[in-house]
Amino acid sequence: MSPDIRIDSLIGRPVHDDAGEKVGKIGQVYLDNDSGAPTWVTVKTGLFGKQAFVPIGLLDPADDGVTVPFSAAVVKDSPDVDVAKDLGRVREEALYRYYGVNREQAEQRAAEHGHRYIRPGADDGDTLR
């Protein structure tokens, strides 16, 4: 897969766990309030409409969807966060702790895999990392 990934192309893509089992589909992409960089996706797990937040830097995009580096149970058991509200720093930090990383580690992982997330209609000068 190309290292340049349009963030709008993530919506609806299947999400698989580290064993290849389907977890759900990507529901939304959340941008950082300060930088505008994509930082989170929600995964629709199919359980009563629940959407679980996952740091975008932990995704491993492929042509057939994305993979997360943990089990489906980890995603499905993640803390409940209202997707209609602003994530906020306190909730965001709690989610990072839950996944065992901090913001910098998630961003570094994305950079190590060579993934760049691009806004729809962006030119090369409007690339988000």
pLDDT for 53: 95
Q: Tell me the residue range of the domain where 102 lies.
A: 4-128
User: Measured between alpha carbons, how far is 80 from 126 in angstroms, rounded to an integer?
Assistant: 32
- Residues paired with 66 in a beta bridge: 15, 61
Q: What stretches in the chain show pLDDT beneath 70? A: 1-3, 47, 114, 119-129
> Using one digit for the tens of pLDDT, what is the confidence trace for 63-91?
789 999 999 999 999 998 888 888 888 89
pLDDT for 128: 38
pLDDT for 110: 76
Q: How many domains does the chain have?
A: 1
pTM as predicted: 0.84
What CATH number should be reported for the domain holding residue 37? 3.90.50.10
pLDDT for 7: 85
- Ramachandran angles phi, psi of 29, nearest 5°: -115, 130
pLDDT for 121: 59
pLDDT for 126: 42
What SS3 state is found at 84? coil
